[in-house]
Structure 1
Amino acid sequence: MTNKDSRPFWTFLVGQTSSAFGTSFTSFALPLLVYRITGSSFLMASTVAVAFLPYMLFGPLAGVLADRLDRKRVMITADVARAALLLSLPVVASSSTRPAVILAAFAFIETAFEMLHAAASDAVVPTLADPQDILKFNARLSVADSIASVLGPVSAALLISVTSLETLFRIDSATFLISAIAVLTIRVKLTGRKMRSSIPDDSPSRWSETVAGFRFIWRNRLFRSKALMDGSLNFFGANVYTQLIFIVKDHLGLPDSAFGWFEAGAALTGIVTATLAVRLSRRVSFTILILALPVVQGLMAVTIGSSRIWQLSLVAWSIYSGTLGLSFLIGVELRQRYVPGEMLGRVQAAQRTLTWSTIPLGVLSGGLALNYVAVGPFIAAIGVTICVIAGMFAWASPLRRATALRDALEPLPEDHPTV
C-alpha cells in the first residue's frame, strides 16, 4: 500500500475552494442579471443552453488535451482565462446595446474554459490520492466546495444591498487567480502519460484518441446505462435550476436576496451529503443509491413546483441539489476508481459530453413551454417525469443489477501509475 504525501492535495483543495467561492458569486449574479435585463424565462433558458454548447462541440477535445498536456498548465491557463473574462464582463456588457448577446457569449466562453479545467482536475485526483482514498478525497473536495458555496451566496446576498452586480464578478475574477497560484505551487507531476489507447485499434489516429473515451463508456454496460439515464434526467431536470430565479421571484414573490439563500441552502445540503458519501457507499447498495437518488430529486421538484410556502420550497430545493451532488460524486468516484489513469481525462470528458449535451435542447424546450404554462406547474411536471425515467431504468435497464456490474469490474491496483 502506498502512502502519498497529502500536502499537494490540500494545496489543490485550497485552490478549488477559492474558485468555488468566487463562482458562487457569479452563480448568484448572472441569473439575476439576465432576469433584470430580459425578465424572460425563454432568454434565461437560452443563456443556459448556450453555456452548455461547449460540451457538445468541444467535450471530447477537452479530454484529449487533459490526457496529452501538462494538467497543471491546463488548469492554470483555464483559471487565468476565466479571471480575465470575468474582469472584462461588466465593462463590455454595460457598454453594449445588446447585453443579452454579450451575456450568452460570456456563458459560452466561460463554460469552455471550465470544461477544460474540469477535465484536467478530475484526472488529477487519482494522482494525489491512493486508490482506496479516492472517494474520501473527492468527498473532501465536495465538502469544501459546498462550504464555499454556502458562504458565497450568503455574502453575495448581503453585498448586493450595498454594492453592484459588477463587483461580484470582480470578486470571482480574483478567486480564479488565487486558484491558479495554488495549482502553480503544487510540486507533484500532474502530466498525463504518453497516450495509448486502452482499447485495441488497428489504425491509431488522433480521431481514435478523441473517441476512445466514448468507446470505453459504450462498451461497458454499467457506464453506458448510467450515461443514458443521466442524459435523460438532465434533459428534464436542468429546467429546475434554470428557472429557479423565476420560482423565487415570480412563483414565491421573494426579493432578490432570497435567491442567494436558496443557493446557500443547496450548498449546505451538499456539505451533508458529501460528508455522508463514504458512509452511504459502504452501507447502502450501489444499485439503490443510483436509482433512488433520482426519485428523491423528482419528488422534491414536485414539492418546489406545487408549494407556495417559501420555507418548504427552500428545504425541497436544498434536498434536490444535495442528492444531485451526491449522484455526481458517486459517478466521478466510479470512473476514477476503474478507468486507467492515462485515459481518465477522455472518459470523464466523454461522460460530460454524453450527459450534459442534452441540457441545451431540454432547457430551450422548457423555455418555450413556459410561454404557455406557469413556472410552478411546469416544475412539478418535470418532477413527475424524473420519477418516471428513474422507474423505467430501474425496471428495464442493466442498472437494476448495478452493484453486480460494478463488482465485476477490476479496480485499479493500489500502485497503479495514474500519470
Structure 2
Amino acid sequence: MSDPGGFTREQRPLGRNRDFNVFWLGQALSVLGGSISLLALPLLVLEATGSVVQLGLITVVSGVTAIVTGLFAGYVVDRVDRRRLMIVCDLTRAVLLGAVPIVWWAGGPRIWLLYVLTALATVLKMLFDVAYVTAVPNLVRTEDLTAANGRLMGTFAIGTLLGPVAAGFITAAVGPDWALGVDGATFLVSAASLGWVRFRRPADRGADPAGPRAGVLREVFVVGFRFLWTHVLLRPLTVLLTLLTFVTMGAVDLLIFHVRSDLHRDAATVGYVIAVSGVGVVAAALGAGRLRRILGFGPCWLASVALTGVAVAGIGVSRSVPVIAVLAAVFMFGMTLGGVSSMTLRQEVTPDHLLGRVTSAFWTVHNASGPVGAAVLTVLAARHGVAVAGLAGGVFCLLIVGVGLLTPLRAARGGAAGTGGAVPRATRKPNVRCDPEGRLGS
C-alpha cells in the first residue's frame, strides 16, 4: 500500500510515517504519566506510613522484581504478538493504578496494596519496555532507526522533567492517590494509540529456529547471552557498557550530595541543576541521528563515553553551581547519545525473532553492575570526598574509551560488522547458524 507521496509503508520517511508518529505521540503521554508516578508513589507511601523504611522496601521490591522479570521478558516478547502484549500491559496497568484512589476513598490507605501494585506494575513495565524496543524496527526504515530512537529518547527526557512538576500540582490539589489514577488514565491512551498502529512483519520474523524442542530455561537464559557474546560488536559493547554503568549509576547521587552537602545549597537548587541537565538529553536526542551518520557508531559511542567521563570529573571538583549544571547537561548528553547509539545498533544487527531475548540479556548484564558501582562510588566519596570520587570516575570512563579503541568498536561505522554500514533489515541475513538441535549459534 502506498501513500499520496508514492511511498509504501516500508519506504515512508520518518516525518510521513503515520504508524511511528501515532506510536510516538501515544508513548509521549504515557511517559509523562509514568513520571508522575515516580514522585506520587513515594509520596503516597510516606503519607500512608510515615516510614522511610517502608519507602526503601518498596524500592527493593521494584528492583528485585525488575531483575527477575528481565531474565524471562525477552523470551515472552519473542514468543507472542508484541503489539497485543503491549496493549495488554497498558490496560492492566491502567486498571491497577486506577484502583488505588478508589480503594483509598472506600477503605482508607492499604500499604499491602502498594507492595502488590509495585511488583505487578514492575513486571508489566519490563515486558512492555522490552517489547517497546523491539517494536521500533518494525515501524521505521533501518536508516531512520537512530532518528526514531532519538525522538523517543527526547520525549522521555521532556516527560521526565514535566512529570514530577505535574505530580506536585496534582498531589497538592487532590492527593498522591489520585495522581496515580491520572497515570492509569495515560496508559489507556497509550493502549488506544497502539490499537491504531500497524507493525510491519520483517523478513526474518517467522518461526523461531530454536523450535519447540528447545528447553524453556535454555531459551530464557542462554540464547540472548550467546548472541551478545558471539557478535563482533555487541560483545565489546556489552562488556564496556557494563563497566560504564558501574560508574555512572552513582554519578547522580554524587551530584546531589555535592550540591546539598558540600556547597550547602537547598533542594530547589538541586532541582534547577537536574532541570538544566535535561537540556543535554534533548540535544542528544535531536542530534544523535546526524552525529551517528557523520562519525559512525563506534566513534560516536566512544566519544559519548569520553564526554561522560569529563563531566563526572568536572562535577566532582567544581564549586560553582552554574558550572555543575552545565556539566550535568554534558553528562546527560553523553549518556543519551551513547544510549541511542547502542540501542540502534542492537536493533540493526539482531534478527527480529531474537531481539526481545537479546535486549533482556543486554539490560540484565550491564545493569547488574550499577548498584555495586553506586555503592563503591558513594563510599569513596564519603571517605575521601566527592572530588576524589569524581576524578576516579572520570579516569575510569577514559580508561573505558582507551580499551574501546583496542576493539572493533573503534572503526565500526554501522550495524553490520565489516560492511561499513547498516544492512537493511529486509535483506540482511542473520549472522547465525543452527546447531544439530536447532538452537542458535554464532
| Structure-1-length-normalised TM-score | 0.81
Q: Which residue of 2 aligns with 1:123?
A: 134
Offset from partner CA, 1:291-325 (integer Å, 9 cap, x none): 22112112212232333432222222222122211
Q: CA–CA distance in 2 between the matches of 1:364 and 1:304?
A: 18
Q: Distance in 1 between matches of 2:326 and 2:170?
A: 24
Aligned to 1:314: 325
One of 325, 345, 348 as aligned partner of 2:336: 325
Is contact 1:75–1:117 with CA below 8 Å preserved after alignment?
yes
When residues 28 and 295 of structure 1 are mapped into structure 2, their CA distance, relative to the original with a 3 A threshold, is farther
Query: Which SS does the other structure have where 2:424 is aligned?
Result: coil
Query: Which position in structure 2 is the counterpart of 1:17?
Result: 28
State the distance in 1 between where 2:294 and 2:276 align: 26
1:299/1:384 contact within 8 Å kept: yes
Q: Where does residue 250 of structure 2 map in the other structure?
A: 239
Whole-angstrom distance in 1 between the partners of 2:141 and 2:427? 9
CA distance in 2, matches of 1:246, 1:56: 27
Correspondences of 1:111-150 after superposition (within 5 Å)? 111-150=122-161
Question: Bigger shift: 59-68 or 409-418?
Answer: 409-418
Aligned counterpart in structure 2 of residue 76 of structure 1, from 67, 87, 92: 87
Partner of 1:373, secondary structure, is helix
Correspondent of 1:197 among 195, 209, 219: 209
Letter of the aligned partner of 2:298 in structure 1? T
| Structure-2 separation of matches of 1:378 and 1:32 | 34
Q: Which amino acid aligns with 1:237?
A: T
Aligned residues: 408
Alignment pair present for 1:383 and 2:393: yes
- The AA in structure 2 aligned to 1:197 is P
The answer (yes or no) to whether the contact 1:265–1:314 under 8 Å persists in 2 is: yes
- Aligned partners of 2:94 and 2:184 also within 8 Å: yes
In the alignment, which of 202, 206, 226 is matched to residue 216 of structure 2?
Answer: 206
Distance 2:239 2:261 in 1: 33
> Match of 2:73, SS?
helix
Corresponding residue SS for 2:233: helix
The answer for the alignment partner of 1:277 in structure 2 is 288
Are the equivalent residues in 2 in contact too, given 1:245–1:259 (CA < 8 A)? yes
Q: Which residue of 1 is the match for residue 196 of structure 2?
A: 185
TM-score, normalization by structure 2: 0.77
Gap change, CA 1:283 and 1:346, over 3 Å in 2: same
2:11 is equivalent to residue 3 of structure 1: yes
State the Cα distance separating 1:242 from its structure 2 match. 4.8
The answer as to whether partners of 2:311 and 2:394 remain within 8 angstroms in 1 is no
Distance change >3 Å, CA 181–CA 244, structure 1 → 2: farther
Conserved in 2, the CA contact under 8 Å of 1:48 and 1:242?
no
1:373, distance to aligned residue in structure 2 (A): 3.4
Task: For 2:319 and 2:325, locate their aligned partners in 1 and report how far apart those are by CA, in whole Å.
Answer: 10
Counterpart check, 1:336 vs 2:347:
yes
Q: CA deviation at 1:404?
A: 8.6
In 2 relative to 1, CA 167–311 (structure 1 residues): closer, same or farther, beyond 3 Å?
farther
| Residues 135 and 376 (structure 1), Cα distance of their counterparts in 2 relative to 1, 3 Å cut | same
Instruction: Give the distance between the partners of 2:233 and 2:37, measured in 1 at CA.
Output: 35
Alignment counterpart, residue 185 of structure 2, candidates 163, 174, 179: 174
Residue 168 of structure 1 deviates from its aligned partner by 4.1
Q: Which moved more, 1:58-67 or 1:19-28?
A: 19-28
The alpha-carbon distance between structure 1 residues 154 and 330, as it changes in their structure 2 partners (threshold 3 A), is: same
Distance apart, 1:113 and its partner CA: 2.2
Bigger relative contact order (CA 8 A; separation at least 6) = 1
Change (3 A) 1:401 1:8: closer
Larger radius of gyration: 2
Give the stretch that moved more between structures: 349-358 or 135-144.
135-144
Identity over the aligned pairs, expressed in percent?
28
* Residue 275 of structure 1, CA deviation: 1.0
Deviation at residue 411 of structure 1 after TM alignment: 4.3
Question: Against the structure 1 CA distance between its residues 335 and 371, is the aligned structure 2 distance closer, same or farther, given a 3 Å change threshold?
Answer: closer
- The C-alpha deviation readout for 1:307-363, integer Å capped at 9, x for no partner, is 343222222222212221111110111111121112211211211111112223333
Q: Does 1:393 align with 2:400?
A: no
Return 222-231 or 336-345, whichever deviates more.
Answer: 336-345
**Residues 216-227 of structure 1 correspond to what in structure 2 (within 5 A)?**
216-227=227-238
Is the contact made by 2:349 and 2:415 (CA closer than 8 Å) also made in structure 1? Answer: no
Compared CA separation, residues 372 and 313, structure 1 to 2 (3 A): closer
CA root-mean-square deviation: 3.9
2:373 counterpart (343, 362, 381): 362
* Alignment gaps of 5+ in structure 1: none
Give the stretch that moved more between structures: 384-393 or 59-68.
Answer: 384-393
- What code does the residue aligned with 2:137 have? P
Moved more, 279-288 or 185-194: 185-194
Partners of 2:73 and 2:360 within 8 A in 1:
yes
- Answer whether contact 1:28 1:260 (CA < 8 A) is retained: no
Q: Report if the CA contact (8 A) 1:306-1:377 is conserved.
A: yes
Residue 193 (structure 1) shift? 4.5
Q: Is the 8 A contact 1:67 1:345 kept in 2?
A: yes
CA distance in structure 1 between the aligned counterparts of 2:404 and 2:184, rounded to whole angstroms: 43
d(CA) in 2 for partners of 1:132 and 1:52?
A: 35
Q: 1:124 to 1:286 in 2, by over 3 A?
A: closer
User: SS of 2:159's equivalent?
Assistant: helix
1:351 to 341, 353, 362: 362
Match of 2:77 in 1: 66
